[in-house]
Structure 1
Amino acid sequence: MPTQGYSLIPIPNPSAPFVHVHAGVEELGRVFQPTLAINATPVAFAAALDDLEPPADTHRRAWREATHADYLAWSEPLPQVPGPVQMSTIMHWLRQNLPADTVMCSGAGNFSIWLHRFYRHPAFGTQLAPISGTMGYGFPAAIAAARLDPGRTALCFAGDGDFLMTGQELATAMQYGLAPKVFVIDNGTYGTIRMHQEREFPGRVFGTDLRNPDFAAYARAFGADGFTIADDRDAIPVMEAAFASRNASVIHVKLDTEAISPGTTISALREKALNRG
């Protein structure tokens, strides 16, 4: 998904130098007139690129370094949110304690901003995430990662509505003796939709409130470990216990509904929308 926006490439002549790589020669030049057309499979093209030395471009190096510094600054400081549970405590602990090869998996929703913005992936091949807002993706992805490489930690970040779509796959994890770790970020609402409701129609909440189960008890019903974080003081002891366990673990994080995203609250969204008129 685009981060800030995008524009379509003009047809047939792109407005910038355009390199088109495609395995089918009939596709090259069919829609766009490329600056450089390369008839190759993605694997062959990537292998050829791997043998090339990058150009000695000091301007681009300076740009990369400045961009990376911006990224690091954007992921600090970890914000405080309304309610007794602070996601900052959880994210800081994960950043400091997870193995470098941990596979981080997520579904779609505002909850995933905490992971994507504040967790710093130390290596390639450590993220599984959906495209185009696919809810329910994270937990099956974590099960697949645990099945493929049981020696690595597979961690899933899921929202409450997100986890309710595929949480029954705990049965699969238990059947195959897998031990993914799952954070269910429960704020009692379909957060992204609620955010849009408050932004466009402040106070007119419809169809987004959730009445959730006890996710820790739900996990235990499958034979997995179930934990609850209802207060910030619980966070570190719970995470230490969950990650010490060799069993699949679900950590039910009870987040205040006001904490709709790291950067704003429901009240702030509503006030801004009302002031906009």
Structure 2
Amino acid sequence: MTHVGEAIVKTLEAHGVKRAFLVPGESFLAVLDGLHDSPVDAIVCRHEGGASFAAEAHGKATGEAGVCMVTRGPGAANAKIGLYTAWQDETPMVLFVGLVPTADRYRESFQEFDVNAWFGDIAKGVYVVDAPERASRIVAAAFHLATSGRRGPVVVGLPEDIIAEEFTGTISGPHTRAAGAVSPSDLEAVASALRGAERPLIFEGGQGWTQDAADAWQRFAEEHQIPVLNDMRSSDKINFDSPANAGWLGTARNEKTAELLERADVLIQVGAKLWDKPTDNFELRQGMDCRNLVISVDPDQIANSGAITHHVLADPATFAKALDSLDLGGKPDTSEWFAEARRIHEDFSAIPPADARFPDLPEGAVDMYAVMEAIVDKLDARALCTYGAGNHCFWPQRFFPTRAFPSMLATRLGAMGYSVASAMAAKLADPERTVVAFTGDGELMMNGQELITAVRYETPMLVVVVDNEQYGTIRANQEKTYPGRVEGTQLVNPDFVMWAQSMGAWAEKIERNDEVAAAVSRAFEQVEAGQVALLHVIVDQDHATPEGSAEA
């Protein structure tokens, strides 16, 4: 007999799923049984938050829906953070949640909850497998919804009794996804706007990208001398070294980069939205006279600061195939504008020389500029970084060279605890990539236990812990609002080296500047030898972010 749990796993196989990140529970034992003889790898995590973050990161890294499996009640509650991240970051993901048996519903049963009420407003859809014969069709529908249009998470509820019953249906394969289309009128609208623009600007972000699409947009921007701004924590579509790369908007940005957004006479939004972070809480680029052309498969476009002049309902990869059809004959000379935008980014993203860094850095504190310089020196062209939330994020956002797609997995949501789990997922998705996770001392203690999961599944990566013994971002805002009244933001930390070593990772602490180069070299040697490595970097509380990075 084939039970429903086995049929669900076979549906995952039909959809090309290679791994599922999970924390086991008695509510979905039938699915675990189905995984026993399946080529789908069960990646057993230590917390549902870590499992859901890893699944979300897989969606970002591959463009395909990441899969997470958790049990009812507490398991579902813990997994909510990864689902919410997938919702705000528009990442394809399918979360399977075990449920109480159908006969036990609405009776205040053990760990009972309303799956629709819990997830309905942060998921694209919530399905419940209520009929054994429909199980595979429901799973296929969930994957289709997660990866179509505005990508995002979908929840599939699995009643404990139903998934143990005999499956009498057929296995459903993937549905064809619509990626939008580009009409002649769309092409003319974009071309006409660019032909009349003296200060054109492209703003990239969102999902629906491929390496080919990123390459095509980069060639187009370079050929026609149109600067490209990146959305916050999305700086991996245009090569770090491209003359078209003009930096990013949002937290840690340059003030001059934000001015480019204001000065542009035509803005082409490619997958990106003018949400509150890139627009400084909707203060930038607002008003009816802004010429903003949007290329996105999301028809709603709720996140916007100003008017939308024209909306092309297509994802970035679809429009990329039509770029050669754009007739920009007679376009104004934008070379000065193009060069100015590039200079701003080059100046901002260059690590300053030793004599120009933190002139008042106290004795005994490590210069994070030196740490970044040593790390960047060891990276290959396909290196990838991950990070979650906190002041430590400023360093990779500003200085990590993103030269391949994807090469920056981070959360726009601003959720702490993302860095380690996402790095593990990235390494599993592409074992040949060099993966560096940046985390703070506050963030590391949220789902950092997935370090042992990374060790178990042999995902060699480097974890850089920027330790300033505080919740630094909140402290910075606290000092702005209530100067000199620091409360509730200071931390006492464990010995992170011993902690990491207890999980089987190689680890070393950096407490002085003269230790940086050798320690970073040793860490990369360990990673190359197949080890998970961790560097514990002690930094001063008042020198935890690079100078000139805006908090906006």
TM bin (shorter chain) = 0.7 to 0.9
Match of 2:349 among 64, 72, 75: 75
Question: 1:154 matched to which residue of 2?
Answer: 435
Aligned twin of 1:139: 420
Q: CA deviation at 1:155?
A: 0.3
Q: What one-letter code is carried by the residue in structure 1 that aligns with 2:347?
A: A
Higher mean alpha-carbon deviation, 243-252 vs 52-61, is at 52-61
Q: CA-to-partner distance for each residue in 1:152-183, whole Å, 9 max, x for gaps?
A: 11001101001111210012101211111100
1:262 aligned onto 2:512: no
Identity, % of aligned positions:
33
Comparing 63-72 with 214-223, greater Cα deviation is found at: 63-72
Match of 2:371 among 90, 94, 97: 90
Change (3 A) 1:181 1:17: same
> 1:21-100 maps to which residues of 2 (within 5 A)?
21=295, 23=297, 35-40=309-314, 43-49=317-323, 52=326, 57=331, 59-76=333-350, 77=352, 79-80=357-358, 81-84=361-364, 85-100=366-381
Calculate the TM-score normalised by the size of structure 1.
0.82
Which one is further off, 69-78 or 13-22? 13-22
Distance 1:54 1:121 in 2: 29
Structure with max Cα Rg: 2
Residues of 1 paired with 2:489 and 2:312: CA distance?
A: 48
**Quick check: 1:128 aligned with 2:409?**
yes
Change (3 A) 1:42 1:120: closer
Once the two structures are superposed, residues 177-211 of structure 1 have per-residue CA deviations (whole angstroms, 9 ceiling, x without a partner) of 11111000000000011111112212211111111
Within the alignment, does 1:182 sit opposite 2:456 as a pair? no
CA gap 1:56/1:132 in 2 versus in 1, 3 angstroms: farther
Partner SS state of residue 258, structure 1: helix
Which of structures 1 and 2 has the larger relative contact order (alpha carbons within 8 angstroms, sep 6+)?
1
Task: Provide the residue aligned with 2:73 in structure 1.
Answer: none
Match of 2:532 in 1: 248
Provide the residue aligned with 1:171 in structure 2. Answer: 452
Q: How many residues align?
A: 259
The residue type equivalent to 1:82 in the other structure is P
3-state SS of paired residue (2:448): helix
Q: By how many angstroms is 1:237 displaced? A: 1.1
How far did residue 33 of structure 1 move? 8.3
The verdict on how the C-alpha distance between 1:57 and 1:236 changes in structure 2, with shifts beyond 3 A counting, is farther
Indicate which of 445, 464, 488 corresponds to 1:207: 488
1:199 counterpart letter in structure 2: K
Once the two structures are TM-superposed, the CA of residue 61 in structure 1 deviates from its matched residue by 3.3
Are the structure 2 counterparts of residues 58 and 141 from structure 1 closer, same or farther at C-alpha, using a change threshold of 3 Å?
A: farther
> Aligned in 2, Cα 1:252/1:55: closer, same or farther, shift over 3 Å?
farther
CA distance in 1, matches of 2:507, 2:403: 28
Structure 1 equivalent of residue 241 of structure 2: none
Instruction: Quickly say closer, same or farther: Cα 1:40–1:68, change in 2 above 3 A.
Output: closer
Deviates more, 1:121-130 or 1:41-50: 41-50
CA distance, structure 1, for counterparts of residue 508 and residue 440 of structure 2? 16
After superposition, the CA RMSD in angstroms is 2.9
Per-residue deviation at 1:100?
Answer: 1.4
Alpha-carbon distance, 1:121 to partner = 2.6
Task: Give TM-score scaled by structure 2 length.
Answer: 0.43
User: Which 5+ residue runs of structure 2 have no aligned equivalent?
Assistant: 1-231, 233-249, 259-279
Distance in 2, Cα, partners of 1:228 & 1:53:
56
Counterparts of 1:176 and 1:155, CA distance in 2: 17
> Structure 1 residue 236: deviation in Å?
1.2
Deviation of 1:9 (Å)? 7.8
1:147 corresponds to which letter in structure 2? L
SS at match of 2:321: helix
DSSP-derived class of the 2:421 partner: helix
Once the 2 structures are TM-superposed, how far is the Cα of residue 250 of structure 1 from its aligned partner? 0.9
The answer as to whether partners of 2:417 and 2:443 remain within 8 angstroms in 1 is yes
CA positional deviation for 1:132: 3.2
Give the 3-state SS of the residue equivalent to 2:333 in structure 1.
helix
Q: Is the 8 A contact 2:461 2:532 kept in 1?
A: yes
| Residue segments in structure 1 that go unaligned for 5+ positions in a row | 265-277
Report deviation, 1:99: 0.9
Which secondary structure state, in structure 1, belongs to the residue aligned with residue 463 of structure 2?
A: strand
Equivalent-residue separation in structure 2 for 1:161 and 1:187 (angstroms): 9
Q: Which of 487, 493, 517 is equivalent to 1:236?
A: 517
